[in-house]
Amino acid sequence: MIELARVEGRDLDDARLVQVHGEIDLSNARDLMSVISREVPHEATLVVLDLSGISYLDSAGIAMIFRLAERLRYRRQELRLVVPPDAPIRAVLELTNVPRVIPVQDSLAAES
């Protein structure tokens, strides 16, 4: 498993939910990208990446999110992020303009 982070994937209605817990940084971003990609079947049209359990995210993690979105777009899959407004990483996402490129919702309830 990836040091610092844990990934769990499951189906959620018509979407594939991938939950990540822990930290995303330079030491694990590349491996984490591979694990997340393996959790997403090609037939999924919507991928919800739940980052509610992330306590730390650096620039390598931001780059990983952008690369994941690009890869999924190429496969004609939509990516949405779940990050609560009070999450430690929400400000980082907003400062790097992630919500302008990838939809960010406050909770999974917005998905249901």
83-112 pLDDT, tens per residue? 999 999 999 999 999 999 999 999 988 654
d(CA 21, CA 3): 11
Residue ranges per structural domain of the chain: 5-105
The SS3 assignment for 94 reads: helix
Bridge-partner residues for 9, per DSSP? 18
Q: How are beta strands 78-82 and 46-57 bridged, if at all?
A: parallel
Provide the 3-class DSSP secondary structure of residue 61: helix
The answer to whether 101 touches 69, Cβ cutoff 8 Å, is: yes
Residue-level pLDDT at 15: 94
When computed from its CA atoms, the radius of gyration of the chain, rounded to whole angstroms, is 13
pTM for this entry: 0.92
Domain 5-105 listed as CATH 3.40.190.10: no
The answer to whether the CB of 108 falls within 8 A of the CB of 101 is no
